[in-house]
Structure 1
């Protein structure tokens, strides 16, 4: 009986996956506000602006058979000042624009008008733990991400993802990917990105990949003075 239930579940996923070729996912950002120190007058205005910038922030993942792009859904009336603050706020919470070209199997972060080649070899640890997100059954996965800060300090970051095999794109927000299904929730440090709306399209939606100069992470770090 158990085998029949599992088979029915897999067949249901396969049938559903044949009904769409593209998706658009909205992710709500949930962050722990930066604490304001009354004694640190010099940076208080900046911190207040960063906290205000993250009010009702929405990020969008667009994916088709060519790859995906992930970026903030900026308001149409945002001026240059608001756009600059949005970038500073995203940097404070380690969120970047990303896109993935499936044909070349290359993931890029977009920083300082450069396409920086990023790592895609996430060593996910899969768990049998589940929970429901937006009516989808999601499974837990974790990844210990090691990186170097702009000040040259080595840091370990535990990333927790909740993915659903019911949606057959193995992508997710903020460049995280490689799980057997779409990531609907991602959490690290003081940042959480949660899917709040998924649209499915039978046709191949257009994705405009940024045409910037391509550099490796080592070249980028050297350019900004870390290496």
Structure 2
């Protein structure tokens, strides 16, 4: 049998020793900050001035930068966004982004169950699916996050959730833009020609995930849908998103019951992604149609 590197053998020893020391009613809370970056050039921003891009990024800030709380025990967890007041006029023009934000996510690492309570355009969904495990490769690199020593692990995945960056913004209506769109579609060849319903949806891309976990907190939990390492995951870097733990409270005085979400129309993740994708395609077409109508009306005025 191949010998484990000394660091990995040590952290596994720490994990199992700590695991046995924690009581069955152990509970903890981990607070996370999530930040996602978006390349505005993919949304028709190539011709925007730096000032205009900065304005749009400020509008999108509430959608792209969020705070969450993960309440967990040895088997279950629930990951909820912390509510915060929106500044007057904040997010105007990107308010639909709130409909793409995930609701409370429940995970059970023993029963391999994941349930998300999600509202989308006024309709409540209950996304119920199997908790899929990533094939983590544990490394020996370490770093300190707060008072916790964390070890690095990597994996690759393809997201089955809706990704707003998989949609390009339609052309602004200028002749050159439309011609560029046509050329780009043609250059994609068979990837788009057979897809009449969603001609501008990109193929799922492989995402590299880098996780930092601490065996000092012996649970197989982590933020969002991430889990499966010998210690709580304190940081995730995946594609354009970084999730970082900023605070941990172990065995709080007032323990919170971890309940499964129950309300909403029951769907799988794949079914929900299809619903959202179709709705976003409708919005894309409506946006393009409204733009053409508005420009036509403008030309007809004196």
TM-score of the aligned structures, taking structure 1 as reference length: 0.75
Larger-gyration structure (1/2): 2
**1:215 paired residue among 267, 272, 290:** 267
How far apart, in 1, do the equivalents of 2:276 and 2:35 lie?
A: 29
Is residue 190 of structure 2 the alignment partner of residue 138 of structure 1?
no
Alpha-carbon distance between aligned partners in 1 of 2:24 and 2:73, rounded to the nearest angstrom: 13
Cα distance, 1:33 vs structure 2: 6.2
Q: Which has the higher strand share?
A: 1
Aligned to 1:74: 83
- Secondary structure of the corresponding residue to residue 58 of structure 1: strand
Which of the pair is proportionally richer in helix?
Answer: 2
Q: Secondary structure at the match of 2:206?
A: strand
Partner of 2:229: 179
What is the SS of the residue equivalent to 1:147?
coil
CA distance in structure 1 between the partners assigned to 2:22 and 2:99 by the alignment: 33
Tell me how far apart the structure 1 counterparts of residues 110 and 268 of structure 2 sit (CA, whole Å). 18
Give 5+ residue unaligned stretches, structure 1.
none
Q: What does residue 39 of structure 1 align with? A: 47
Question: Which of 28, 38, 44 is the matching residue for 1:23?
Answer: 28
Spell out the pairing of 1:90-169 with structure 2 (5 A cutoff): 91=100, 97-101=104-108, 104-111=111-118, 112=120, 113-116=124-127, 117=129, 119-147=131-159, 151=201, 153-169=203-219
SS of the residue aligned with 1:48? helix
* Residues 199-227 of structure 1: per-residue CA shift (max 9 Å, x gap): 1116752124321333123322443456x
The Cα RMSD (Å) is 3.8
For 2:40 and 2:88, locate their aligned partners in 1 and report how far apart those are by CA, in whole Å: 26
Report SS of the residue matched to 2:224.
Answer: helix
Shift of 1:11: 7.5
- Name the SS for the 1:74 alignment partner: coil
Unaligned runs of 5+ in 2: 1-5, 167-200, 279-302
More off after superposition, 10-19 vs 116-125: 10-19
- For the residues of structure 1 that align with 2:99 and 2:243, how far apart are their CA atoms? 12
| Distance 1:218-1:35 versus aligned 2 partners, 3 A rule | closer
SS of structure 2 residue aligned to 1:175: coil
Does residue 49 (structure 1) correspond to residue 59 (structure 2)? The answer is yes
Aligned equivalents of 1:134 and 1:109: distance in 2? 29
The count of corresponding residues between Structure 1 and Structure 2 is 218
Q: 1:61 aligns with which of 70, 78, 88?
A: 70
